[in-house]
Amino acid sequence: MSVLPLVFTCGWASGINAYAVVLLLGIFGATGVTDEVPASLQRTDVLVVAGVLFLCEVVADKIPYVDSVWDTAHTFIRPLAGAVVAALLAGGDGSLSEIAAGAIGGSSALMSHLVKAGTRMAVNTSPEPFSNIAMSTVEDLGVAGVVTFALFHPVIAAGIAGTLLLLGLVILAFLASRIRRFLRRRAQRREEKRLTAPVSQWPDG
C-alpha cells in the first residue's frame, strides 16, 4: 500500500506529459537520487526515446490546434503509460498489487488527460497563441515539481495531485460550452474545406 500514493501521482502526471514522467523517473533512478525507480526505466535506450519524445511534446504542446491533435493521438498512449509506470513502481512481479497499481495509474492518467485535452480545446477558442504557451509551460513545470516532490513525500504529493485533478474537472465543467463551440467550429472548417476542394476534371470521352 505504501507505493500507491506515488503510483497515483505518477499516473496523474502521465496524463499530462507521460514522456516527462518516464524521463524524470529514469534520470532520478540512474543518478541514485532514489531507489524507488525500477531498473527498466533507467535503461539508456528508454531515456533516449523518452527524451526525444518529450522534446517533440514540448514543441507540439505550445502550438494552437496542433496541441489538440497531439492530445487526440495520445488518448490511449498516456493512460497506457500511466498504467505501465504504475505497475513497474509496484514491483513488476505480476501480483495482485501490481494489477491494482496499474489500474490506479491508468485511471488517474486517463482522467488528467481528459482534463488537459478538454482545457486545451477551450484555450484554442482564443485567437492568440500565448495562452497555449503559458498553459504548456505551467503543465510541464507542474509535472516536474509534483513528480519530484512525490519521490520524497508521496502522500502529500498524492494529495496535491488529487486536488489539482478535482480542480481541473471543475474547471472543465465550466468550460464545456467553449469546448462544444470549438468542436462545432472545427467541424464547420472541415466541411468548408471539403466543399471548396477542387473537383477533378475528367476529359470528355
Q: What number of other Cβ atoms are within 10 A of residue 126's Cβ?
A: 12
pLDDT level of residue 203 (50, 70, 90 thresholds) = low
Q: Residue 89: is its pLDDT beyond 60?
A: yes
pLDDT level of residue 172 (50, 70, 90 thresholds) = confident
| 181-202 residue pLDDT tens | 767 777 777 777 777 766 545 5
Q: Residue 3: is its pLDDT beyond 90?
A: no
| 34-85 residue pLDDT tens | 888 889 999 999 999 999 999 999 999 988 888 889 999 999 999 999 999 9
pLDDT score for 197: 65
| 132-165 residue pLDDT tens | 888 889 999 999 999 999 999 999 999 999 999 9
Q: Residue 198 in 3-state DSSP? A: coil
- Cell triple for residue 28? 532520478
pLDDT score for 75: 93
- Angstrom CA distances, 66 to 44, 49, 51, 132, 181, stand at 29, 21, 20, 10, 18
- Cell triple for residue 53? 519524445
- The model carries a pTM of 0.83
pLDDT score for 97: 76
Cβ atoms 85, 41 nearer than 8 A: yes
Q: Which of 42, 39, 40 is nearest to 27 (CA)?
A: 42
Q: Residue 93: is its pLDDT beyond 60?
A: no
Which stretches within the chain are classed as H helix?
4-30, 44-60, 66-73, 77-89, 96-123, 130-152, 154-174, 176-196
Cβ atoms 37, 28 nearer than 8 A: yes
Q: Residue 204: is its pLDDT beyond 60?
A: no
pLDDT level of residue 92 (50, 70, 90 thresholds) = low
Between 112 and 1, residue with greater pLDDT: 112
Between 160 and 175, residue with greater pLDDT: 160
Mutual orientation of helices 130-152 and 154-174 as an angle, nearest 10°?
150
Mean pLDDT of 19-34: 93
Contacts of 158 (CB under 8 A, 6+ apart): 4, 5, 6, 8, 9, 150
CA distance 151 to 111: 22
pLDDT score for 201: 52
Mean pLDDT of 5-18: 95
Q: Which of 14, 4, 3, 9 is nearest to 110 (CA)?
A: 14
- Give me the amino acid identity at 38: P
